[in-house]
Amino acid sequence: MPEVPGRRPGCFVVDLDGAMIGYITFDRRGAEHPGHVRPEAGEAALGYLFLPEAWGRGYAAEACAAALDWFAGALPSEPVVLCTQAANDRAMRLAAKLGFTEVKRFEDYGAEQWFGAWSSVTLPG
């Protein structure tokens, strides 16, 4: 265990009528992992985990969109990345809905991983 806990750019608990149904995190993506959009690594990586009973109702999409909106204001012009197993249909559909686009795919943890990026900055043209 490190003496000083690592710092995350963001961490959110999602509640529905006072009960926790999921959480959303922004972690710094370490250089030891494959998949980066910055040479120095350390990008903010979005993570999401919701209780199965809350799936299929659009709550994750709504909450993640709000978290990304917060991120765009807190750390403007920083990209956000996301890595999930390509076989994780729900996570893949959510990533596409949120506006993540594929950067690359690679093998890790014995499975194909999908690595995508999102940016609040609209490129000219």
Ligand X SMILES: CC(C)(COP(=O)(O)OP(=O)(O)OC[C@H]1O[C@@H](n2cnc3c(N)ncnc32)[C@H](O)[C@@H]1OP(=O)(O)O)[C@@H](O)C(=O)NCCC(=O)NCCS
Tell me which residues touch ligand X (CB under 6 A): 47-50, 55-61, 84, 88, 90-91, 93-94, 97
Distance between CA 68 and CA 23 in Å, rounded? 13
Least distance (Å) between residue 96 CB and ligand X: 10
Residue sitting closest to ligand X (CB):
58
At which residue do the structure tokens 């978290």 appear? Answer: 67
Considering beta carbons, is residue 4 or 11 the nearer one to ligand X?
Answer: 11
Q: How far is CA 62 from the centre of its chain?
A: 14
Least distance (Å) between residue 5 CB and ligand X: 22
**Residue 9 per-residue DSSP state:** S
Considering beta carbons, is residue 111 or 121 the nearer one to ligand X?
Answer: 111
Distance between CA 124 and CA 65 in Å, rounded? 23
Element spanning 91, H or E: helix 89-98
Least distance (Å) between residue 103 CB and ligand X: 15
Element spanning 67, H or E: helix 59-74
Least distance (Å) between residue 91 CB and ligand X: 4
Considering beta carbons, is residue 66 or 121 the nearer one to ligand X?
Answer: 66
